[in-house]
Amino acid sequence: MNNVLILPEDGWKEVSTDSQGSFTLTSGGQHCIHAGQPSELLVGHRYGKKPVQFITAEGESVYVRVSRPCFAVGDVVGGVVPLIQRYFIDLDPVLNSYYLLNTHVTFAGDFEIEFEFTYSLNTGAILGGGGAGNELRFDPNNNRFRFIANGGFTNLVITSVNYNIGTLYKCTLRRVTGLVSLEINGETPTTSNAQPFLITHVGQNGAGSIHFNGIIANPKLTDLVTPANNQTYALGQATGNTETSAEGGDTITYVNVPESNRELFEFDGVTTWDNISPEPQTLPATIEAVS
């Protein structure tokens, strides 16, 4: 069996009830592959339009559906590969939930920050540190995205793009020779100057006054002046409140995150940051919108 298929927009699609074989996914967007009946173990998923091959077990049905955020995925070629477990967490400002970086990051010079996000309320700080005004957050009223530095709006990057609740975005914020640019899903809306940027929290601003509501994943903080300061924080390994978790040698603490705000994904394969190339896409209704 070797099927080539186009993924459905949503819901499950049975693609094979044959004996052991393989099939190739060629459709764009975000895929999740489940063996057996729907909602059973997630065995693989990936972004993009690159083909990916899965091996089915004998007598095992395979189902495909578009899923909620699956941020870090890799090449899955079948056979026995390490099992990867990853939690994706909804950060809820009503509960004061956020991540705390145990090792604070200060960019004195040029830097690059990458992360992925989707949100369920049109407000909230994604990264923050220091006092009020030194933050990266959404404007709650105008669906804007902006970088605020040193207490004011003088130094900011603000996008002209409308952002949709429940849509997955990849964001890159860079400062090169003092010029800041904000890139979201390949667009660079505008640029501006900015001051040194301290990062202590993910999911709230440094002053603790604004919390993000949505999902943040795979923040990668790169110091372009001092490479030794480079860090990649793999968020989403939470198992309880204020319990320290670690992945790849980087340590974070998550605060006020209940079980219901976490969803475990398990998949076989290799996680590589270079594989992440999400396109704008509407996720299924797994993130609640406020009426």
Q: Which residues bind other proteins (CB under 8 A)?
A: 92-98, 100, 104, 121, 129-130, 200-201, 204, 206-209, 240-242, 255-261, 288, 290-291
Q: At closest approach, how far in Å is the CB of 96 from other proteins?
A: 4
> Measured from the CB atom, is 14 or 288 closer to other proteins?
288
Nearest in space to 155 (alpha carbons), one of 178, 176, 138, 177: 178
> Measured from the CB atom, is 182 or 210 closer to other proteins?
210
Q: At closest approach, how far in Å is the CB of 81 from other proteins?
A: 33
Nearest in space to 55 (alpha carbons), one of 71, 44, 70, 67: 44
CB 215 within 8 A of CB 167: no
> Measured from the CB atom, is 237 or 286 closer to other proteins?
286
What residues does 88 pair with on adjacent strands? Answer: 263
Q: Looking at beta carbons, which pairs linking 15-18 to residues 24 or more positions away fall under 8 Å?
A: 15/62, 15/63, 15/64, 16/56, 16/61, 16/62, 17/61, 18/56
> Measured from the CB atom, is 76 or 202 closer to other proteins?
202
**Identity of the amino acid at 17:** T
Q: Which residue has the tokens 């592959």?
A: 33
Q: At closest approach, how far in Å is the CB of 267 from other proteins?
A: 25
Q: At closest approach, how far in Å is the CB of 286 from other proteins?
A: 11
Q: At closest approach, how far in Å is the CB of 8 from other proteins?
A: 26
**The length of the chain, given as a count of residues:** 291
> Measured from the CB atom, is 67 or 261 closer to other proteins?
261
Q: At closest approach, how far in Å is the CB of 159 from other proteins?
A: 23
> Measured from the CB atom, is 237 or 281 closer to other proteins?
237
Give residues with Cβ within 8 angstroms of 132, minimum separation 6: 151, 205, 206, 207, 209
Residue 261 region by backbone torsions, left for phi larger than 0, else alpha for psi between -120 and 50, else beta: alpha
